[in-house]
Structure 1
Amino acid sequence: MNAADKITDASERLERTANENGGAYQEPEGYRGSVARTMFDRPGSEDGTITILVPEHQIGNVSREAYVRIDSMHPRTNTVEAQYLGVVGSGPFAEPDALGANAPTLVVAAAHGAVLTPKYHGIAHVEVFGEKVDGVVIPPLKRPCPNSPVFLLGQEDTKAVLGLDVAAEDKPVRLGLLGSVSSISVEVPAAKKSVLYKHVAILGTTGGGKSTTVSGSIMNFAGAGNAVVVFDIEGEYTTMNEPTQNPHMLAALKKRGLSEAGAPKTRLFYLSGRTSANPRHPDKREFKIAFDDLSPYVLAEVLDLSEPQERRLLEAYDICRITMEREKIYPATPEEHAEALEIDELQRGWPRMTIEKMIDVVAAAIDMIEGGANGFKGRVNGFRDHETVLLQTLNARKIEKDSRSWKAIAKRLWRMKSAGVFANGQQERIRVDDMLEPGRISIVDLSDMDAPYLRNLVIAQILRLLQSRQDDRYAEREEQVRKGAEGKPLTRVNIFIEEAHEFLSAQRIKQMPNLFDQVARIARRGRKRYLGLVFVTQLPSHLPDEVLGLVNNWILHKLTDGGVVNRLKKVVPGVNEATWRSLPNLAPGQALCSLTHLTRPVMVAIDPSPCQLRMVD
């Protein structure tokens, strides 16, 4: 028998022996369809993280942010003891089967141009975030057993596990596509109280895609029947009514199967006397704010007064109010007297008080201190024809003889008056009822206001008016329900505050605590009243902890500041360390989304914006 025959005979005998003992090796039933196996813990293993081994032929099927199911298999009985759910946090990294990655054989071969690729496998780390018990996902109590099979979740299972199935009555709106599975949509419930109305922060560096996220969200929320108000600092969103013409955005839309489109029902509000960033907008409205809506304590903060000056201002405010009462300017009727008793001056000002009246009080005080009050003459819209009572009130109060403080207040009041932001009549005032129409997008264009204190004043007053009107509607609805009627549904409202760091920086909150209290009050009361705030900024390092504490939903684009990331780790739950490390490297349009309706944070490829933005390249 020659050598070839001997080999053939040996092979046949081995095959017969194998068949007699059950045939070729068959993977156990419970392991079929798996893409990886759990392995024994290594030095440095951490709670909540499992290392898995991926066969060479499966490495292409497993990616970071892929969602998996681990059937924890008892090592002796081969029975499933528990089912765990996890996400691939890092890897898979290629590793040779029987050699170290830096083995001399591999190093020498590669260094001298030889091709030597031994059998290899992938090694990845899975963050275990849940255990499935009777169809319900609960926090994991134990770790999966070693050598347990790991299965990729299908689309429907992934959606169910992550909470991506949004009920129709909750008005689902699409945010983008799940980063690891490009065909799964990530949707946000626009009508669910526990999500958008627990407030949102959209953070990221310049060029990370915030504007795309904001404009798409504005259009989608309005499309779901919400009223949307946007405080536009740079005038970026004033062209939203037009479809995008950006070639990069058009290509991205086509790739997603989406079409360009302008936002319907947009209305542009801009301060009277200023220039709109989009003079071609078909629905523009000029407005001014009302001085009598302004709390005296917020006024003192906005004017940036010293402590003595603040005391003088509040004294002037009291004198103005008392003079108005004596002259029956307000309150003038029994109904108004009853209304006046309910006024909370921490939140609003005295009805019918004007900045001219305050200027008259301060001017009369200065004249009285300097001995020239006999020739005092009031101004139109001030205390003209009421000078005698004003001077009598000043005399009775025995004001401080500190002309320097009074003149400093006069200078600041005149500067504010010359800005032209205050209305003289009801017709000039902004009507927030126009903003609370379902599906309406109201863009408050503040791009032609250089003074930050004036922008903040406008934002603060419109916010307070929106809250007050929504409170009234809520009270009316509750009264209808109390009487047994079906209450009229509240309009859901989403308010976007662009460049939030300028409005609510740590320094500004320290200087303007009453202004922040108004924002915090909206945040606390907003959920029941369907009033949700969205803070947008490229400088999250300037946002204080007080603001971050108001937010429960996060959309994080590219962030390169390690200090900011470390702060966010304390307030954004459920994000693994590998994902935090990836934030500085996110591509434009990628975002880490932590939303209250999701079981865990997810990476999302945000949909391109279909509308035209002024400042996007």
Structure 2
Amino acid sequence: MTTTLREDALKFGKIKEVDGAAIILHADVLEREFQSIKHCAEVGAYVNCGGAHGNTICTISKVQITEIEKTKRAIDGFEIVREERKVVTLSILGCAINGKFNRGTKRLPTINCDTYFLSSDQVNQLIGIDLEEDKEHFCVTDANDDDQTYLNLDKLMGRHTAILGTTGSGKSCTVASIVQSILSSYECPRILFFDIHNEYPSAFGYNTEAPGDSFKNRTNAIPWNEFTLPYWFLDLEEFFGVYNLEPGSNQKAIIKRLITKQKEKEAKKQNIDGVVVSADTPIFFNIDTLLDEIVTEKDSQGNATAKKPYESIILKLQAIRHDTRYSFLHRQIDNETSIVEYFEFILGLAESEAYLNILDLSGLPAEVRAVCVGVISRLCFDFKYWDLDPENIPLNLVLEEAHTYIPEESDSKFNIAKERVERIAKEGRKYGIGLTVVTQRPSNVSTTVLSQCGTYIALRLTNDLDQNKIKRLLPDTLAGQVDFLPSLRDGEAFVSGDSINLPRKVQFREPNPMPRSNDVRYHKSWKLGKPSGYSLKSLVDSWHKQDKSK
């Protein structure tokens, strides 16, 4: 094992300028060979500034050659000579103490301090991962990769993670790869996917062309036509958001009183003792009975003015009650599903456990998707909040296409989702519930949520607004690394934060099976034409019914 971080054969320059965030050095050479391996001064490479102050670990952020002019005495007077100067800019990552990497530095390097390339063995020594002892680490790179990368599961899942990348950069594959690695490394994870485009079931065994039984046996992919969110689990604010009621009017008082009354009756019917029943308590009530009571109260009013708020409530409740797009709210009325049964359903806590649960939300009406994500997030937070030991069942929520329901902009239709997800971002770590925020437009996602993330996995980002958002979120010493994001390969990401010891570029292992997120093959379809059995009538029928289950 390597014992020193200062190999003379890897010495390549001296420091000439130091400030709080960057170090400038003049290199004697830009390449060194050590143990038959070439080490180059390239962006992202690790170096050690080693001197009397100790060992400061840095990464190369810029390499350039500048020309300087010098005046030299010649036989017939003076002549101007041009010389090349190799200038390398370093970003400080931390320091090495007893051969192990630590974030932050006590003392900065001094002028004329020697700099050394770090070999892969030296980097592995710095990271110091022993899989026999460090059970919280798991590998995310291919077994044949020379540069193996390990992430700390506790910090990746518990301190929130942001996976960012423009469309086509390999974002879905990266998410699937990380989750497959977790399922392969740990027996009993607990992950809940909000799958907006129904692309992830195929990555976990729900694909006849590329089956993966080892994943499928531990996964529950809930298709759109089986997804339910019983209305009686909504709190009062959520109920008003879903049913388009007016919270600022006396409608709220009417609904609150009648729902509370029904839930109190149900609590007595179920012999639930010692419960403080309110309109927010997750106990069953029958919405049809609620409508009948509202109609009865309306008929008992003496004049048209008094009847008006009741008429408005009835129209709106009936509109949603009989709208097929909202059938997921009312599917379980006859079953009177309890909150226990619902958590068994969406979190895989039934007798035959499912450790990865994928909710297909592709069929949700766009106008209510944000509310539904917010409601389920709030239910999961409450589930963990009331668990006295946060380590009982640590939970992670994967928020796909997060910009569509927790945007930066202020809009009342997103308030429920934003408030509830932001609460998890700020408080979830203490209760054992974490977020994995996945988006192609970080500039459009709530800054409150992104700023609480402890790990950033940034794939290719070409938009300058998105790049600037990442620069503001990363520490100053790493902000310069954002400049190479547009040139990253598919599936390659710059990973920084709590879950990785040394910030670095990582080529994530290709998921097997793959998610259903590949680019459309135009050349094939435009050559062969429409497939046999194609039915425009079936397409329009699904369109009319707002049903994507077929």
TM interval, short-chain normalised: 0.7 to 0.9
Residues 568 and 355 of structure 1: is their aligned pair in 2 closer, same or farther, counting only changes over 3 Å? farther
**1:368 Cα shift?**
4.6
Q: Alpha carbon RMSD of aligned pairs, Å? A: 3.9
Aligned counterparts of 1:357 and 1:550: Cα–Cα separation in 2? 44
The reply on whether 1:424 has 2:330 as its aligned counterpart is no
Aligned with residue 240 of structure 1, among 203, 213, 221: 203
Q: In 2, Cα distance between the equivalents of 1:56 and 1:598? A: 27
1:267 aligns with 2:220: yes
Distance 1:577 1:544, change over 3 A: closer
Q: Secondary structure at the match of 2:290?
A: helix
- Residue 352 of structure 1 corresponds to 284
Match of residue 113 from structure 2: 148
Are 1:61 and 2:24 matched, yes or no? no
Using the alignment, how far apart are the partners of 1:56 and 1:320 within structure 2? 73
Q: Deviations over 1:129-173 (max 9, x none)?
A: 334455564633554344433222232431343566666453422
When residues 593 and 324 of structure 1 are mapped into structure 2, their CA distance, relative to the original with a 3 A threshold, is: closer
Partners of 1:530 and 1:324 in 2: CA distance:
30
Q: How far did 1:609 drift?
A: 1.2
SS at match of 1:41: strand
1:173 aligns with 2:138: yes
Gap change, CA 1:344 and 1:567, over 3 Å in 2: farther
Q: What SS is found at the alignment partner of 2:473?
A: coil
Question: Could you tell me how far 1:534 is from its partner in structure 2?
Answer: 0.9
Would you say 1:301 and 2:241 are equivalent positions? yes
SS at match of 1:222: helix
For the residue of structure 1 that corresponds to 2:274, the secondary structure is: helix
* 1:597 aligned to which of 499, 504, 507: 499
Deviation at 1:535, TM superposition (A): 1.3
In the alignment, does 2:380 pair up with 1:466? yes
* Structure with max Cα Rg: 1
Which whole-Å deviations, capped at 9, do the CAs of 1:516-559 have from their partners, x for residues lacking one? 44334444553344322111111222212222233222111112
Q: What is the aligned-residue identity percentage?
A: 18
SS in 2 for 1:268: strand
Q: 1:409 — aligned with what?
A: 316
Q: What is the CA distance between 1:419 and its match in structure 2?
A: 2.1
Alpha-carbon offset, residue 366 of structure 1: 4.7
SS of alignment partner, residue 10 of structure 2:
coil
Q: Cα deviation per residue 1:29-59 (whole Å; 9 max; x = unaligned)?
A: x8831341114339xx774322231426549
**Where do 5+ consecutive residues of structure 2 fail to align?**
1-5, 72-81, 520-550
What amino acid is the match of 2:152? P
Tell whether 2:507 aligns with 1:610. Answer: no
- Is 1:222–1:228's contact at 8 Å kept on the other side of the alignment? no
CA separation of 1:260/1:293 partners in 2, compared to 1, >3 Å: closer, same or farther?
Answer: closer
Q: Is the 8 Å Cα contact of residues 198 and 527 (structure 1) preserved in structure 2?
A: yes
CA shift in 2, pair 1:410/1:97, >3 Å: closer
Is this contact kept in 1: 2:152–2:500, CA < 8 A?
no
Q: Does the Cα contact within 8 Å between 2:220 and 2:348 map onto a contact in 1?
A: no
Partner-residue secondary structure (3-state), 1:218? helix
Counterpart residue number, 2:257: 318
Task: Assess, with a 3 A threshold, how the Cα gap between structure 1 residues 495 and 402 changes in structure 2: closer, same or farther.
Answer: closer
Q: Could you list the per-position Cα deviations for residues 456-488 of structure 1 after superposition, in whole angstroms to 9, with x for gaps in the alignment? A: 34433433443444455x33x59xxxxxxxxxx
- Once the two structures are TM-superposed, the CA of residue 295 in structure 1 deviates from its matched residue by 0.4
- Partner amino acid, structure 1, of 2:376: I
Q: Distance in 2 between matches of 1:440 and 1:566?
A: 36
Change in Cα spacing, 1:608 to 1:134, as seen in structure 2 (3 Å) is closer
Q: Which amino acid aligns with 1:227?
A: R
Residue 189 of structure 1: aligned partner: 152
Amino acid at match of 2:174: T
SS in 2 for 1:533: strand
Q: Which amino acid aligns with 2:326?
A: A
Give the corresponding residue for 1:490.
392
TM-score (norm 2): 0.76
Deviation at 1:213, TM superposition (A): 0.8
Which one of the candidate residues 272, 276, 282 is aligned to 1:336?
272
Question: Aligned-pair distance for 1:209?
Answer: 1.0
Give distance in 1, aligned partners of 2:470 and 2:290: 44
**1:83 corresponds to:** 55
User: How do residues 206-221 of structure 1 correspond to structure 2 at under 5 angstroms?
Assistant: 206-221=167-182
> What secondary structure, in the 3-state scheme, does the structure 1 residue paired with 2:140 have?
strand
Closer, same or farther: CA 153–534 of 1 in aligned 2, 3 Å: same
Amino acid at match of 1:433: E
Mean alpha-carbon deviation: is it higher for 553-562 or for 356-365? 356-365
* TM-aligned CA deviation for residue 312 of structure 1: 0.6
Deviates more, 1:511-520 or 1:539-548: 511-520
Aligned partner of 1:88: which letter? Answer: I
Structure 2 counterpart of 1:127? 91
Name which of structure 1's ranges 130-139 and 200-209 shifts more when overlaid on structure 2.
130-139
Query: 1:554 — aligned with what?
Result: 456
Deviation at 1:371, TM superposition (A): 7.1
| Cα deviation, residue 293, structure 1 | 0.8
Shift of the 260–500 alpha-carbon distance from structure 1 to 2, 3 Å rule, reads same
1:38 aligned partner: 14
- The answer to whether the 8 Å contact 1:54/1:124 transfers is no
Select the residue among 321, 324, 344 that pairs with 1:433: 344
Q: 2:24·2:90 contact (CA, 8 Å) conserved in 1?
A: yes
Please, what TM-score do these two structures have when normalized by structure 1? 0.68
Q: Which residue of 2 aligns with 1:568?
A: 470
Unmatched runs of 5 consecutive residues or more in structure 1 = 1-29, 73-79, 101-117, 251-258, 275-285, 373-397, 479-488
Give the distance between the partners of 2:334 and 2:247, measured in 1 at CA. Answer: 32
Give the Å deviation of 1:597: 3.4
TM-aligned CA deviation for residue 513 of structure 1:
3.8
Residues 521 and 130 of structure 1, relative CA distance in 2, 3 Å threshold:
closer
Query: Structure 1 residues 300 and 54 mapped into 2: Cα distance closer, same or farther (>3 Å)?
Result: farther
Q: Which amino acid aligns with 1:218?
A: V
Q: 1:418 to 1:355 in 2, by over 3 A?
A: farther
Q: Given that residues 396 and 434 in structure 2 are in contact (C-alpha distance below 8 angstroms), is that contact kept between their aligned partners in structure 1? A: yes
**Aligned 8 A contact 1:38 1:51 in 2:** yes
- 1:368 and 1:314 mapped to 2: Cα distance? 17
Aligned partner of 2:24 in structure 1 is: 50
Aligned mates of 1:579, 1:511 — CA distance in 2:
36
Paired residues of 2:47 and 2:118 also in contact (CA < 8 A): yes
* Aligned equivalent of 1:447, options 339, 348, 362: 362
Flag the structure with higher strand content: 2
Q: How many pairs does the alignment contain?
A: 487
Please tell me whether the aligned partners of residues 56 and 96 of structure 2 are also in contact (alpha carbons under 8 angstroms): yes
